[in-house]
C-alpha cells in the first residue's frame, strides 16, 4: 500500500485554497446568512447520534469542495484504510495504531469483566495514572458517575496531596488501588502506587493495567490486565485502562460506550468526505488554522457531565498533532495543531468569553450541546449567535460593541449517555487522524514529552 507522504503545500488544492481564502478574509457571516436562507440547513453533517452545524464558520460550499479535494489529494481514503487494516502508520515507532479495534468487540475482555463482577466489598477504586492513563477514564467515569455503583477517585500528580485526597475517608480493606501505566515505569504513577501500597498495608486490593506484566507482578500487583503496546495512551479510553469505569458503571454502560465508538467508525469509513462528520471537523479546523490564520481553538461543552472534555481533548489534539517536522523529518513551513483550550458553559461565559467576543484575537470555537436543559441550549445558541453576528448597532458606545464575524460550530448529541459519549470521543479521535494526514505528520508518537522526563530523572539522580 503506497501512502502519500509529500508536503500538502505541493497539492493543487492547497494552492487553490490559499487563493480562495483571500476572498473570505473580509466576508461577513451576517451577510452570508442574509443572502442564503438555506445556509443553516446546508452546512450540517449528521452521524449516528451526532449533528455538526458549521454554518457559522467563515466558509462556503466551494470551500468545502476544495477542502475535500485536498483530503483526496492527500490520499485520505488510503490512509484511513491503512489505519483500520493495522498497518504500521506510526513510523517513528514502527507500530500500528489499532485503537479502533478495541471498539470492534469486547475490548475490556472476559478477564476484565470477570474481575469487574468480583467487586463485592469494594467501596472505592483509587485510579493511579497520568496522561492518557487517567484523562480518558476520568472523563468516562465523571460523565456517567450518577449511575456508578462504586466511587472512583483519581490521582495523577506527583504532588502527594493528590493521592492523599484520593484516599481521604477510605478504608484499606474496602479499597481497590488500580495502577495504570503501559510501561509500568512512569515515575509519577509508580511513586503514587508505592505510597498507596504502603497505605493498604496488605489489606484491600492492588491491581495493575500494563503491557509490562512482569514489572507489575514484581511490584506486588495481585491482578494484571493487559494494555496492548499498539494503543497510545491518549487513545486508550476504550481499553482495560478504563477498568475503574467499567467496574463502577457496569458492563452494560461500558459496552454501550464502545458501541457509540463503533457507530462513528462505520460512519467515518463509509460517508462521503463532504458529509463525513469527523472529516468535516478536521477540514474546518485546517481551513481556520492554515488559511484564515487561527492560532487557538476553544471547546465549550454545555453540559456539566462533559466538563472534563477540554482536558481530554488538549492531550488528544496537542500531543498528537503538536509537531514541527513531517513524516520524513523535514521542518514544516505551515502550522499544525492550534492551542486547544476551553471550559464548560455556562460558567465560562463569566470567565473568558469576554475575550472571545471583544478580544483582539479571533478564536474559533466548538459548542458541545447535549440536550441537558432548555436553559443550556439557549445559552449555547446565544453565545454562538453573538460570536457570529455581534451587535450591529452603531449607536452603542465603542466599549459596548461586539464585532461578530467570529466562527463557531455547534456539535449536538441526541442525548447524553454512554453510547453518545462514545460517539463524541471517537469523532474527535478521527478528526485528529485526518488532520495528521492533511499535515503529513505522525499523530501517534509524542517524542516531545520524553526530554522533560529524562531531565527530571537526571536531576533527581544527581540531586541538583
pLDDT in tens, 217-238: 999 999 999 998 889 999 999 9
What pLDDT sits at residue 394? 86
Domain coverage including residue 20: 8-87+259-448
Q: E-strand spans in 237-374?
A: 296-302, 339-342, 365-369
What pLDDT sits at residue 464? 56
- The reply to whether 1 falls in a domain is no
- Domain tally, the chain: 2
Residues 335 and 318 grouped into a single domain:
yes
Average pLDDT, the chain: 95
Sheet of strand 175-180, all strands in order from the earlier edge strand to the far edge: 151-155, 124-128, 175-180, 205-210, 223-226
| Segment 194-209, tens digit of pLDDT | 999 999 999 999 999 9
Q: Would you please indicate which residues are annotated as catalytic (active-site) residues?
A: 319, 350, 453
Residues 226 and 305 grouped into a single domain:
no
370: cell is: 447535549
Residues 292 and 404 grouped into a single domain:
yes
| Segment 108-162, tens digit of pLDDT | 577 888 999 999 999 999 999 999 999 999 999 999 999 999 999 999 999 999 9
The CATH number for 191's domain is 3.40.50.10490
Mean per-residue pLDDT for 69-76?
A: 98
- The reply to whether 410 falls in a domain is yes
Residues 378 and 303 grouped into a single domain:
yes
Residues 171 and 76 grouped into a single domain:
no
Mean per-residue pLDDT for 9-36?
A: 96
Residues 56 and 152 grouped into a single domain:
no
Residues 341 and 436 grouped into a single domain:
yes
What pLDDT sits at residue 36? 95
Number of CB atoms found within 10 A of residue 42's CB: 12
| Segment 396-424, tens digit of pLDDT | 999 999 999 999 999 999 999 999 999 99
- The reply to whether 94 falls in a domain is no
Residues 237 and 128 grouped into a single domain:
yes
Q: E-strand spans in 59-166?
A: 124-128, 151-155
What pLDDT sits at residue 392? 78
**Where residue 105 falls among pLDDT bands split at 50, 70, 90?**
low
Q: Is the pLDDT of residue 64 over 60?
A: yes
What pLDDT sits at residue 234? 96
| Segment 439-455, tens digit of pLDDT | 999 999 999 988 888 88
Which of these three, 256, 276, 309, is where a domain ends?
256
Mean per-residue pLDDT for 335-364?
A: 97
In order, the DSSP letters of 436-455 are HHHHT--TT--GGGHHHHHH
Q: Is the pLDDT of residue 106 over 70?
A: no
Residues 343 and 381 grouped into a single domain:
yes
Q: How far is CA 24 from CA 20, 39, 258, 293, 407, in A?
A: 7, 16, 40, 12, 12
- The reply to whether 2 falls in a domain is no
Which of these three, 256, 286, 307, is where a domain ends?
256
Which of these three, 189, 223, 256, is where a domain ends?
256
Residues 248 and 276 grouped into a single domain:
no
pTM: 0.97
Residues 109 and 202 grouped into a single domain:
yes
CA distance 155 to 166: 6
**What Rg value do the Cα atoms of the chain yield, rounded?**
23
- Contacts of 281 by beta carbon, 8 Å cutoff, 6+ apart: 52, 409, 411, 427, 428, 431, 434
**Where residue 460 falls among pLDDT bands split at 50, 70, 90?**
confident
Mean per-residue pLDDT for 17-32?
A: 95
- The reply to whether 93 falls in a domain is no
CA distance 363 to 230: 35
Residues 66 and 140 grouped into a single domain:
no
- The reply to whether 299 falls in a domain is yes
- The reply to whether 459 falls in a domain is no
387: cell is: 460570536
- Contacts of 405 by beta carbon, 8 Å cutoff, 6+ apart: 28, 29, 30, 58, 388, 390
Mean per-residue pLDDT for 171-183?
A: 97
What pLDDT sits at residue 374? 95
What pLDDT sits at residue 456? 86
Give the rounded percent of residues in the chain with a pLDDT score beyond 90. 92
What pLDDT sits at residue 463? 78
Give the rounded percent of residues in the chain with a pLDDT score beyond 70. 98
What pLDDT sits at residue 1? 65
Dihedral (CA of 391, 392, 397, 403) sign = positive
Grouping H, G, I as helix, E, B as strand and the rest as coil, residue 138 is: helix
Amino acid at each position: 500500500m503506497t501512502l502519500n507522504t509529500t508536503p500538502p503545500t505541493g497539492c493543487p488544492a492547497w494552492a487553490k485554497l490559499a487563493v480562495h481564502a483571500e476572498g473570505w478574509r473580509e466576508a461577513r457571516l451576517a451577510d452570508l446568512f442574509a443572502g442564503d436562507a438555506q445556509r443553516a440547513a446546508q452546512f450540517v453533517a449528521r452521524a449516528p447520534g451526532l449533528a455538526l452545524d458549521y454554518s457559522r464558520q467563515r466558509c462556503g460550499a466551494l470551500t468545502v469542495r476544495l477542502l475535500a479535494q485536498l483530503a483526496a489529494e492527500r490520499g485520505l481514503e488510503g490512509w484511513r484504510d491503512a489505519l483500520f487494516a493495522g498497518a504500521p502508520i506510526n513510523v517513528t515507532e514502527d507500530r500500528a495504531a489499532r485503537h479502533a479495534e478495541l471498539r470492534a468487540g469486547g475490548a475490556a475482555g472476559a478477564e476484565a469483566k470477570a474481575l469487574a463482577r468480583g467487586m463485592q466489598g469494594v467501596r472505592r477504586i483509587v485510579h493511579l495514572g497520568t496522561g492518557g492513563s487517567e484523562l480518558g477514564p476520568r472523563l468516562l467515569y465523571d460523565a456517567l458517575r450518577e449511575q456508578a455503583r462504586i466511587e472512583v477517585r483519581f490521582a495523577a500528580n506527583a504532588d502527594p496531596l493528590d493521592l492523599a485526597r484520593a484516599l481521604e475517608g477510605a478504608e484499606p480493606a474496602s479499597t481497590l488501588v488500580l495502577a495504570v501505566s503501559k510501561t509500568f515505569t512512569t515515575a509519577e504513577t509508580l511513586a503514587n502506587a508505592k505510597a498507596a501500597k504502603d497505605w493498604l498495608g496488605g489489606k484491600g486490593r492492588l491491581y495493575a493495567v500494563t503491557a509490562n506484566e512482569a514489572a507489575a507482578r514484581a511490584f506486588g500487583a495481585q491482578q494484571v490486565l493487559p494494555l496492548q503496546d499498539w494503543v497510545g495512551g491518549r487513545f486508550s479510553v476504550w481499553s482495560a485502562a478504563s477498568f475503574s469505569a467499567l467496574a463502577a458503571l457496569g458492563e452494560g454502560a461500558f459496552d454501550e460506550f464502545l458501541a457509540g465508538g463503533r457507530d462513528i467508525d462505520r460512519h467515518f469509513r463509509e460517508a462521503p468526505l463532504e458529509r463525513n462528520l469527523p472529516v468535516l471537523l478536521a477540514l474546518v479546523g485546517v481551513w481556520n488554522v492554515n488559511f484564515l490564520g487561527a492560532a487557538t481553538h476553544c471547546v465549550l461543552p454545555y453540559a456539566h457531565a462533559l466538563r472534563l472534555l477540554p482536558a481530554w481533548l488538549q492531550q488528544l489534539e496537542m500531543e498528537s498533532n503538536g509537531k514541527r517536522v513531517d513524516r520524513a523529518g523535514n521542518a514544516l513551513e505551515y502550522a499544525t495543531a492550534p492551542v486547544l483550550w476551553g471550559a464548560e458553559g455556562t460558567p465560562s461565559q463569566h470567565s473568558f468569553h469576554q475575550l472571545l467576543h471583544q478580544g483582539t484575537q479571533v478564536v474559533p470555537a466548538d459548542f458541545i450541546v447535549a440536550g441537558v436543559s432548555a436553559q443550556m441550549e439557549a445559552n449555547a445558541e446565544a453565545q454562538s449567535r453573538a460570536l457570529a453576528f455581534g451587535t450591529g448597532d452603531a449607536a452603542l458606545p465603542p466599549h459596548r460593541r461586539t464585532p461578530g464575524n467570529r466562527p463557531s460550530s455547534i456539535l449536538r448529541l441526541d442525548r447524553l449517555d454512554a453510547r453518545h459519549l462514545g460517539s463524541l470521543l471517537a469523532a474527535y479521535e478521527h478528526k485528529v487522524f485526518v488532520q495528521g494526514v492533511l499535515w503529513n505528520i505522525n499523530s501517534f508518537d509524542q517524542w516531545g514529552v520524553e526530554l522533560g522526563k529524562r531531565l527530571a530523572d537526571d536531576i533527581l539522580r544527581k540531586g541538583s
